[in-house]
C-alpha cells in the first residue's frame, strides 16, 4: 500500500480564501496533578477528570468513522503504554491511519520537555527514545516534522537549535511574554525564522517558529469536548434551539480577527486542550458540522 | 489579512499548516535570542521554577550522569539483544 502520510497527505488549500487549518489535539501532561499511570488509566477523577487510554481508544474510532478527520498525538510515553495493550487488528488499523496521514505524530518525544531547567543531553535522550519507538513501529510515516512545545513556560534558543539539527521543519508554541506577544500580534511578527545558534554554520540551526493565537485552546464557544460547556451545533431548522447561523457568524468573526495578526492566507486553530477527546466523537461530530456549515455559508459570498 | 471574507475550513495538522505557509513563499523576520523569562501578566513572572524542588533537579542531573556511564559500559562490553534479559 502506497504511503500517503506527511506532506503528501495534506489537504488542498484555496489560494483565493482564508484557509483555516483545524488541528484536533489533546495536551496530555506526562505527570502533573496526577501520576503518569493515574493519567493513563484515568484514576483519581476527584483530582482531575483525565484518562489517556480513553482518549486514544475514542480518537482511533472517530478517525475510522470519517477519512477527512485528522488528529495529532504528541506524548509518546502515553502512546507507547497504549500501543502495547492493543490487539494486532487494532495495531494494524492504527498503522493504516498513520500511513494515510490521518493520525500524525507531532513533537513525538517521550514527553513535551521543559526548556528552562533541562540539560540538553537529557532532552536529546528523551527525544531519541520517543522517536525510536515511532520509527521502529511506523517507519517514515511515524516521523514528526514539527515541534509542538505548546505548554513549556518560556523557550530556549538551544531547544530551537536542537529541533533544527534533529531535522524538524518548524516549531509551534503558546507561552511567550505577554508584552512580547501583544507586540508580535500588532506587528504581525507572530511567525519568524528562529536562528538557533551563533556557532553552527549559516542557517544550519534555523527553525521556522509560529506563535499560536488563542493559547492552545479552541475559540470561545467552539470547545465541544466532554469537559466543556459550549453548545453543540443544533442544525435542525425545526428546533427552537437552532443555532447554526449564529455559530457560523461567531466563528467567521473569530477567524477574521485572528487572520489580522498573521501574514499568509492560512491560520491554525488548536481544537483541543488539556486531556481533551476522552469522548472524541462528541468533539468530531461538531467539528464535522462546523466545517460543513462554515464552508457552505462562505461559498455563497 | 485577506481582503475578502471568504473562509475555507478543513481538518489539518501542524505540518500541513507549515507546508501551506511555506508554499506562500514569504520571507520572515528573524530572531536570535530566547523567549525567557516568561510572564503571563505584569505580576506573574514564571521564574520560580528555575530553582523549585532543588533536590529533584539535582537527582535528575545525577541520574543523567549515571545513565551515560551505563550506556558507555554497555557499549564497551559488546552486549547484544540476547543479553538484554540479564540486564533486567
* A-proximal residues of B, 37-56, CB under 8 Å: 37-42, 46, 49-50
More confident residue, B81 or A248: A248
CA-closest candidate to residue A24, choices A294, A274, A282, A277: A277
* pLDDT at residue B74, as a whole number: 86
Q: What proportion of chain A, given as a percentage, has pLDDT over 90?
A: 96
Contacts of A265 in chain B (CB under 8 A): 1-2, 24
pLDDT in tens, A209-239: 999 999 999 999 999 999 999 999 999 999 9
pLDDT (average), residues A83-106 = 98
Beta strand extents in A41-145 (DSSP E only): 71-73, 103-105
pLDDT, tens only, A50-84: 999 999 999 999 999 999 999 999 999 999 999 99
Please state the rounded mean pLDDT for residues A6-28. Answer: 96
Q: How far is B70 from chain A (nearest CA, A)?
A: 13
Chain A: closest CA distance from residue B72 (Å):
14
Per-residue model confidence as pLDDT tens for chain B (88 residues): 344 569 999 999 999 999 999 999 999 999 999 999 999 999 999 999 999 999 999 999 999 999 999 999 988 988 878 877 766 5
* CB pair distance less than 8 Å for A301 and B35: no
Q: How far is A37 from chain B (nearest CA, A)?
A: 20
- pLDDT (mean) for A144-170: 98
ipTM over 0.85 threshold: yes
pLDDT at B5: 61
Q: Quick count: other Cβ atoms within 10 Å of Cβ B81?
A: 6
What is the pLDDT averaged over residues A87-93? 98
Using a CB-CB cut-off of 8 Å, the residues of chain B touching A178 are 39-42
**DSSP helix/strand/coil, A120:** helix
Secondary structure letter of residue A233 according to DSSP: P
- Interface touch B15/A22, C-beta < 8 Å: no
Say if B18 is an interface residue toward chain A (CB within 8 Å). yes
d(CA B33, CA A177): 13
Which residue has cell 490521518?
A: A102
Q: Which of A95, A111, A93, A103 is nearest to A28 (CA)?
A: A111
Q: Is there a catalytic annotation at residue A14?
A: no
The x, y and z cell numbers of residue A232, run together, are: 453543540
DSSP H helix total and E strand total for chain A: 9, 8
Facing residue for A193 by CB, picked from B6, B30, B33: B30
Assess contact for A251 and A287: CB atoms under 8 A. no
Instruction: Return the pLDDT at B1.
Output: 39
pLDDT number for residue B2:
44
Note the pLDDT of residue A28.
98
What pTM, to 2 d.p., does this model score? 0.96
Whether residue A301 has pLDDT greater than 70:
no
Nearest to A153 among B18, B42, B49 (CB): B49
Mean pLDDT over the full length of chain A: 97
Backbone angles phi, psi at A170, to 5 degrees: -165, 170
Amino acid at each position: 500500500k502506497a504511503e500517503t502520510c506527511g506532506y503528501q497527505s495534506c489537504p488542498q488549500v484555496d489560494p483565493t480564501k482564508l484557509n483555516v487549518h483545524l488541528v484536533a489535539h489533546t495536551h496530555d501532561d506526562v505527570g502533573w496533578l496526577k501520576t503518569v499511570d493515574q493519567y493513563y488509566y484515568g484514576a483519581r477523577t476527584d483530582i482531575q477528570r483525565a484518562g489517556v487510554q480513553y482518549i486514544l481508544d475514542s480518537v482511533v474510532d472517530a478517525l475510522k468513522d470519517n477519512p477527512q478527520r485528522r488528529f495529532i498525538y504528541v506524548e509518546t510515553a502515553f502512546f507507547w503504554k497504549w500501543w502495547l495493550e492493543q490487539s494486532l487488528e487494532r495495531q494494524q488499523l492504527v498503522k493504516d491511519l498513520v500511513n494515510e496521514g490521518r493520525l500524525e505524530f507531532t513533537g513525538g518525544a517521550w514527553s513535551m520537555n521543559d526548556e528552562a531547567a533541562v540539560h540538553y543531553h537529557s532532552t536529546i535522550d528523551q527525544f531519541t527514545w520517543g522517536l525510536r519507538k515511532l520509527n521502529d513501529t511506523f517507519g517514515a510515516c511515524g516521523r514528526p516534522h514539527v515541534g509542538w512545545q505548546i505548554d513549556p513556560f518560556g523557550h530556549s534558543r538551544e531547544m530551537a537549535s536542537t529541533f533544527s539539527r534533529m531535522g524538524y521543519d518548524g516549531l509551534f508554541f503558546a507561552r511567550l511574554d505577554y508584552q512580547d506577544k501583544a507586540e508580535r500580534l500588532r506587528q504581525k511578527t507572530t511567525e519568524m525564522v528562529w536562528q538557533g545558534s551563533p556557532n553552527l554554520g549559516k542557517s544550519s540551526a534555523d527553525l521556522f517558529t509560529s506563535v499560536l493565537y488563542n493559547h492552545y485552546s479552541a475559540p470561545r464557544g467552539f470547545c465541544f469536548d466532554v469537559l466543556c460547556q459550549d453548545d453543540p451545533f443544533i442544525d435542525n431548522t425545526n428546533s427552537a434551539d437552532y443555532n447554526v447561523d449564529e455559530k457560523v457568524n461567531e466563528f467567521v468573526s473569530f477567524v477574521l480577527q485572528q487572520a489580522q495578526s498573521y501574514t499568509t492566507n492560512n491560520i491554525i486553530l488548536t481544537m483541543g486542550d488539556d486531556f481533551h477527546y476522552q469522548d472524541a466523537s462528541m468533539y468530531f461530530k461538531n467539528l464535522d458540522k462546523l466545517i460543513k456549515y462554515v464552508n457552505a455559508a462562505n461559498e455563497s459570498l | 489579512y485577506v481582503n475578502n471574507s471568504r473562509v475555507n475550513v478543513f481538518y489539518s495538522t501542524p505540518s500541513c499548516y507549515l507546508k501551506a505557509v511555506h508554499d506562500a513563499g514569504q520571507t520572515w523576520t528573524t530572531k536570535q535570542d530566547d523567549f525567557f523569562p516568561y510572564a503571563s501578566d505584569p505580576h506573574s513572572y514564571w521564574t520560580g521554577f528555575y530553582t523549585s524542588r532543588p533536590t529533584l533537579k539535582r537527582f535528575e542531573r545525577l541520574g543523567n550522569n549515571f545513565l551515560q556511564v551505563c550506556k558507555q559500559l554497555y557499549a564497551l562490553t559488546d552486549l547484544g539483544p540476547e543479553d538484554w534479559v540479564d540486564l533486567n
